Structure 1
Amino acid sequence: MHESAERPPDPSCHPGTRTAILDQLDKWSFEQPSNSPMLWLHGCAGIGKSAIAQQFAASCHHRSQLGGSFFFKRGSAGCGTWRNLVPTLAYQLNVSFPQLGPLIQHAVETDKLVLGKAMRHQLEKLFIQPFRDAPPLASRPILVIDGLDECEDRSAQTTLIHALIDILRSGDAPLHILICSRSEAHLREVFEAPESLDVCRGLEIWANAAASADIRRYLTEEFSRIYHTHNARGTVLGKNWPGEDTIEHLVKKSSGTFIYASTVLRYVDDEYSHPAKRLKTVCNLDPASLTALDDLYTQILSAIPNRPTLLRLLHICATMIGRCDPEDVDIVLQMPQGTSRALLRGLHAVVQVAPVDMIRPQKPIQFLHASFGDFLMDPQRSSSFSVSGEELQKTLVHEMACALLSSASLEIETFRLFASAFLACLPRIQPSAELLLVFRNVDFQHKLFSSIRAWGEAQTIITWLKRFYPASLDLIRIWGKFSRLASAFELPLLPYGFYRNWHLPPQSTVTSSNYDYSKISTRQYLQQSADLLDIIRISTVLPPEICHATLMHDVLDLLALKWDALLPLIKITEPVNSVDLEDIQDFLRDPDKCGDLWMPRDKILRFTALQCIHRMKGNLRTKNFIHFNEKWISILCHCEPDAEVLDALKDLDFTPVFSSLELDPEYHRKGLVDPAWFADILEWIQKAHSPPPQLIRSWGRQKRIVEECYARLGGPDN
């Protein structure tokens, strides 16, 4: 019961927080009749479900609506199993609704063994029969059942849901029933089954911006209370303690869940300790202060079988900051497809996994709590569940190397993330002959370097290789060349929408160095390397802000080239011992200098546009399409809409992607599919001389469909 002395002092919601959810619950409680007499309130561990249930139960009690409440608690003798559930609720109904009281008492007196019988029999005798025989009630009694996932018998959890749904569907017991639990897979399957939806709906609590705002208010007001309490005891604290920066740090670490914030506050608000010192300890990530949270994580992990495989899986997730999907983890760990999903199924309380049929760009596996990653990486906190051991690091590096070497099945962004994780782990292990053999593989060299986004990452490899000198001398020389290229192609951070607003660079520019690139050697290298010539030609029509980054990652992919296509740049620039892309671009922009190598800009744009259309068609049904669209559609709109380009465009159809807008809000939140693209392309097509009407209709339809999706979902957060 919500007022039971047996229950630990779980607080209600902090005043002024969770108001939107509580308002929804209040509105649902007054629905007469209700289309959804059962409401499933669910969310991740620690997000505050019990506090909301406690607050709602208290409000219902105050309004004389509460029929009864039951709060499961794992390990509790009285609240850990289903055995006391029905009798406890029946007792409360007996007290709260006098019309039912005599009928419930009669049921117990006539069947003295009812409390020891099966759940459905108890519900029939103590719920259904009394409601059938009672006069109509003025309002529907509300039952609150919290922590269903903490009931020790999993089969009893699903049996209870089915039994209550059957009661509500029959109409024999006019009740409102609120069930709160974690979003466990086996519970989700029952609540969201088609046969349940006529009486049940779900309300998920999200760790979103509104939750962070509530946590900020909670922390601010609780720290104020702690300040005044300890100040009255003579404890000296700074005037502005704890400060906005500290509160923002704790809000960020809370990841939208109250469990971290409440644990921190309990730790800081110690009667016999100085709160400032305790808070400093928390901010310095002292694990000893978070035992309640650690116990929760340990409890969740202990229930998962196959611990060695689980640790390998969690290690890669922690290393990748939760940015890989289960199918890619299966590839890296060389496990049968579906293994990772099966293991992660039991971690729904702390890990979020996208459904297998949903495209989720860049964020398939997510740790729901930032502190969960800290817990896993700190052996003092996680003990046998720690994933920071040297042997795990060594194994992961070897597994990632093998995955990168055979990366055909990895998406572009996932490949880059794995490569980044590989480079992050590399310095922590000793070189081995086996790993050096992998580094000597030419294909591996190109694949790894294709993911490098900065000079420092190439230097990481060189520094690591020097630990195995002189056996690694040949590799040090190779990566020295790659390092020079990487220094020319640092990846800038560009704002959303940048590509829609840039303009073509001038037709010709002033040479930016004194070195004469018109020498025969430069022309010769470019003539002998058609691929490099195409790459630099494309770069001449890109704005300076993006041409380096685009060359580094996308032009090579656009043209299906490897990194050896760029190696002639080193030979061209050897006299000045640096790679200055702008000088070579200036050379190719000037017809007087480059002679027969010169190509008019309109032809370069047409060539680039045709390549973009071809690649977008190939990538449209994969996650990879999002890495082309924004910049390449802007290139397309700078090209002359001639017959060849329009003909290639006629069967480019984005409508298969639009369903992802409905399934996955990530698409519209981050602008991964932007209505502005379609408006731009349609306007560009209409500028053509005699544009094909069918093409205008096709892109007009695509523009209309995506705008309708955005009207329902809202536009991207710019």
Structure 2
Amino acid sequence: MSFLSSPLPLTLSPRDALDCNFSPTQYTGDDGLHLLHSAIAIGASYDSAERYPPPRCHPQTRKVVFEIILAWTNNAQHGPRVLWVNGDAGSGKSAISQTVAEYCAQSGQLGATFFFSHGKGDLSDGRLLFPTIAYKLASSLPALRAPLSHAIHSNPSILSDCLEVQVQKLIVEPFSNICHPSVPTLIVIDNLDACEGAEMQHLILTLVAQILVVHRLPLCFFITSRVPSHLQITFDAPIFCKLANRISLENFISDTDVKVFLRAEFANIRQYHQHIQDIPARWPAADVIDLLVQKSGGQFLYPATVLKYVDDPNGDPAERLTDVVVAAMSPKPSSLTPTDQLYHHVLSTCPDPTALLRVLGPLAVTYSALPTTELEKILGLTPGDADTRLRDIHALVDVPMPSAMSPPHTLRIPQQSTKEFLVDIHRSFMFRIETGKYHAEMARGCIRFIGEMDSVEDIDLASYQYVRRKWTRHLSQAMPAPDLLQDLCELRFVYSRLPSEVREVVAWLKSLPIPPPDVLDVWQTWQVQLHAQTVYCIP
């Protein structure tokens, strides 16, 4: 979908972009867009490789909801310009957003999308929302390219300005220089509650209201989220009562939709595996379907997980479905939901939970997707270890096959609800992931990776970006394990760190209940030397 023939390398950060020297004689018309490309969340788009394969709604489900949504998109110029779709985890919000985005992309109404994701670095950073929207709008509305590019070329500091300035310079003013389309252009913002910080979420909605009410831009916004109290308060404010329609998916819980979804997907599984397994034509039985529908509670998370487990390439679908039914009918702690019980069943099929958590734990705390081979390098695992340890839990972890649409062999945990289960000891029990422990593992891996970069010929770009940008983030959330503190004493590593990294390390060390004096002294000494060098260099 990119409209740039040669965007800046992905290693260029927004701050790096400010240091680029573009002279007027070099200006080609797209230079500003090249700079903007460095300040966007690349994986936030509906067609991003990081989201492949994306969740989609089955065409025979959610019919009433989609009728309402499509009626709103067709009449947005005459009514409320915001539609807020809200629901609990597993209610299918992201699948609805994906389907709406794809439909409106085909009709020509889609302008931009941003799919937030909990704790995923750029995908949870609200500061990247409006630059990303502006960049995608310039692709959808080519008339915006020249004024947007010129604005950034004239003042690259826009990329590091506050959100209010970015909205004004990147969206409002460029729109003032073009003829507005006759039909409002759609902006999809999915999973807004996954944006870090309640204040940031409120600010985003405030700026959306200003775009529509004060500046009257020809845009409409489709927004999905859970319903935390602060978002409920914002949408209940007088401005949004007039500006926004809302759909609560809790009002559209449908056992019929779940049953249609299950029957269609089981038919696909039966057809795919027919040449390998002798699956009965009437499989599964009606009472099995009824049991799964009853366990789903009208939501799609439970049946979708069942289907992924049954369709695992390493097992017999009929046998695996029998296992699910037996597990669903077995007595479990009353505190566990049917989905939690299913998660326990899937995880318990792994013969070595310790080895499983050695990969699953770090995967749950990574800030962006990494190729499997690179994650293994960071964790110090041998090639193939990650696949071997996750082989039995494909129902919970996506391992996309290599294709033209996705990075080869990239692991990810697609459902935020899965991560919430894993970190809650009252739900996951023996499978609990202690996030501080695995942040420490990732921090150690990044430190080791940085130390070995000089001796490695072929460095993966994604890994290089990740370890350089995210290692201090992992450190800030890490438990002060002895091995980690020992790694931080490696002088060659310490003396190669930038001032910003040194500040973050010193701040983390000081935040510990008992700051390790030897480690703190090493970093503070280097911090003083760096400061002295900076002062000495100032003329």
Cα contact 2:81–2:243 (8 A) shared by 1: yes
Aligned-partner SS, 1:124: helix
Instruction: Indicate how the Cα distance of structure 1 residues 101 and 134 shifts in structure 2: closer, same or farther if over 3 A, else same.
Output: same
* Amino acid across the alignment from 2:261: Y
- Compared CA separation, residues 137 and 10, structure 1 to 2 (3 A): same
What's the CA shift for 1:201? 2.0
Secondary structure in 2 aligned to 1:100? helix
Q: What secondary structure, in the 3-state scheme, does the structure 1 residue paired with 2:127 have?
A: coil
Q: Which residue of 2 aligns with 1:252?
A: 294
Q: Which whole-Å deviations, capped at 9, do the CAs of 1:165-198 have from their partners, x for residues lacking one?
A: 1221114312110111011111011011123212
User: How do residues 269-418 of structure 1 correspond to structure 2 at under 5 angstroms?
Assistant: 269-285=311-327, 290=343, 379-380=429-430
1:221 corresponding residue in structure 2:
264
Q: Which residue of 1 aligns with 2:233?
A: 189
Change (3 A) 1:207 1:135: closer
Q: Are 2:118 and 1:74 aligned? A: yes
Identity %: 32
Question: In structure 1, what is the Cα distance between the partners aligned to 2:137 and 2:109?
Answer: 10
Structure 1 residue aligned with 2:61, among 17, 22, 25?
A: 17
Q: Which amino acid aligns with 2:259?
A: R
Q: Report the CA distance shift for 1:132/1:152 in structure 2 as closer, same or farther (over 3 A).
A: same
- Contact 1:43/1:182, CA 8 A, preserved across alignment: yes
Alpha carbons of 1:207 and 1:172: their partners in 2 closer, same or farther (altered >3 Å)?
closer
Q: Give the gaps of 5 or more residues in structure 2.
A: 1-44, 329-339, 348-356, 366-415, 435-539
Residue of structure 1 equivalent to 2:195? 151
The equivalent residue for 2:147 is 103
- Supply the AA of the counterpart residue of 1:122: Q
CA-to-aligned-CA distance 1:355-411 (integer Å, 9 cap, x gap): xxxxxxxxxxxxxxxx99xx9678456799xxxxxxxxxxxxxxxxxxxxxxxxxxx
Moved over 3 A (4+): 286-289, 291-295, 375-384
Conserved in 1, the CA contact under 8 Å of 2:148 and 2:170? yes
Supply the distance in 1 between the matched residues of 2:257 and 2:217 (Cα, whole angstroms).
37
1:644-697 deviation line (CA, Å, top 9, x unaligned): xxxxxxxxxxxxxxxxxxxxxxxxxxxxxxxxxxxxxxxxxxxxxxxxxxxxxx
- 1:56 equivalenced with 2:109 (yes/no): no
Partner of 2:81: 37
Within-5 A mapping of 1:673-688: none
Larger RCO (CA under 8 A, 6+ residues apart): 2
- 1:293-692 residue pairs with structure 2 within 5 A? 379-380=429-430
Cα shift at 1:7: 1.9
User: Where does residue 263 of structure 1 map in the other structure?
Assistant: 305
Q: Is the 8 A contact 2:344 2:428 kept in 1?
A: no
The 8 Å contact of residues 69 and 89 in structure 1, kept in 2 or not, is answered as: yes
Inter-CA distance 204–221: structure 2 relative to 1 (3 Å threshold): same
Q: In the alignment, residue 187 of structure 1 is paired with which amino acid?
A: L
Using the TM superposition, give the Cα deviation of residue 272 of structure 1 relative to its aligned residue in structure 2, in angstroms. Answer: 1.4
- Aligned CA distance change for structure 1 residues 277 and 379 (closer, same or farther; 3 Å): same
* Equivalent AA in structure 1 for residue 281 of structure 2: K
Q: Corresponding residue for 2:72?
A: 28
In angstroms, what is the RMSD of aligned CA positions?
3.1
The alignment's TM-score, normalised by the length of structure 2, stands at 0.54
Please report how far the alpha carbon of residue 288 of structure 1 lies from its aligned counterpart in structure 2 after TM superposition.
7.7
Structure 2 Cα separation of the partners of residues 175 and 113 of structure 1: 26
- Measure the CA separation in 1 of the matches of 2:82 and 2:186: 10
The alignment partner of 1:30 has SS state of helix
User: Residues 209 and 239 of structure 2 are in contact (CA less than 8 Å); yes or no, is this contact kept in structure 1?
Assistant: no
Work out whether residues 327 and 345 of structure 2, in 8 Å CA contact, stay in contact via their aligned partners in 1. Answer: no
SS at match of 2:75: coil
In the alignment, which of 192, 206, 226 is matched to residue 250 of structure 2?
Answer: 206
Residue-by-residue CA offset, 1:210-247 (whole Å, 9 max, x unaligned): x2211111100100111111112x21223321111111
AA aligned opposite 2:270:
Y
**What one-letter code is carried by the residue in structure 2 that aligns with 1:74?**
H
Partner of 1:241: 283
Aligned length, in residue pairs: 312
CA distance, structure 2, for counterparts of residue 70 and residue 20 of structure 1: 25
- Aligned with residue 172 of structure 1, among 203, 206, 216: 216
**Which sections of structure 1, spanning at least 5 residues, go unmatched?**
303-348, 351-370, 385-718
Whether 1:231 aligns to 2:231 is no
- Which secondary structure state, in structure 2, belongs to the residue aligned with residue 144 of structure 1? strand
Contact 1:41 1:204 in 2 (8 A): yes
Is 2:65–2:252's contact at 8 Å kept on the other side of the alignment?
no
Q: Within 2, Cα distance between the matches of 1:382 and 1:16?
A: 37
Structure 1 letter corresponding to 2:279: L
Q: TM-score, normalised by structure 1?
A: 0.41
Instruction: Identify if the C-alpha distance between structure 1 residues 153 and 378 changes in structure 2 by more than 3 Å, giving closer, same or farther.
Output: closer
The CA deviation at 1:250 is 0.7
SS state at 1:261 partner? helix
Letter in 2 for 1:185: S
- d(CA) in 2 for partners of 1:378, 1:125: 47
SS in 1 for 2:126: coil
For residues 292 and 161 of structure 1, what CA distance do their matches in structure 2 show? 40
Structure number with larger C-alpha Rg: 1
